[in-house]
A and B are shown apart, each in its own frame.
Chain A
Amino acid sequence: DTAVSQTPKYLVTQMGNDKSIKCEQNLGHDTMYWYKQDSKKFLKIMFSYNNKELIINETVPNRFSPKSPDKAHLNLHINSLELGDSAVYFCASSYRRQGSNEQFFGPGTRLTVL
């Protein structure tokens, strides 16, 4: 009965490859997010989808493409992986409303690009 799940938990790949990370939430939330935690430990928003519509798209290379097939899923596809993409990627979900915006996070996917 995991609330927000991500697969895979670990991903090791070569530079130049294309990879995807999947995220699913069973909380009935209408908004999902992708965050990146880099080597300096900053948690930064990358994307946010509300009811399958992109609402936040921070300055992220266009090699990163989120896809939301439905409200419960938000996948992240990364093309032409680079060394600097190595980080922990967290998926999160919430209701989109003012005030109580507790976001629930998945366990993270540690991506290592060699």
Chain B
Amino acid sequence: DQQVKQNSPSLSVQEGRISILNCDYTNSMFDYFLWYKKYPAEGPTFLISISSIKDKNEDGRFTVFLNKSAKHLSLHIVPSQPGDSAVYFCAAIPYSGAGSYQLTFGKGTKLSVIP
């Protein structure tokens, strides 16, 4: 019962183009979403987040879009750079009334940016 799904295990993009990574969730109690980036042999590092009261959050080349009605979020990277090549994890946290601040992760999407 995957509550956070990243249906594309991998994505290849040319340098300079846009990378779009997608994430779907099933639990309507989720109200905060995060993207993490992971290089091999390292721990995940926080990239960007979005609260459910927003539909967009931007930080430099990274933008996260949230569509609550579709239970879908996406991460856009523009322009993509070779150093962006990594595994990207989508994660979600339920509303605090649920009594937990537990992160639920997707399986990850491996992004390869081709020079």
Contacts and interface: CB of A to CB of B under 8 A. Distances in A.
A102 B48 CA distance: 9
Chain B, interface residues (CB within 8 Å), range: 20 to 34
Interface stretch (A12-20, A36-44, A63-71): A36-44
Contacts of A40: 107
Given A43-B89, A99-B51, A108 B42 contact: yes
Interface residues of A, number: 26
A100 B49 contact: yes
A103 B46 contact: yes
A100 B101 CA distance: 10
Interface in B46-102: 46, 49, 51, 87, 89, 93, 96, 100-102
A49 to B, nearest CB: 12
B21 interface: no
Interface in A67-114: 90, 92, 94, 96-108
Given A42-B105, A107-B42, 9 more contacts: A92-B43, A96-B101, A98-B96, A99-B32, A101-B34, A101-B103, A102-B34, A103-B46, A105-B43
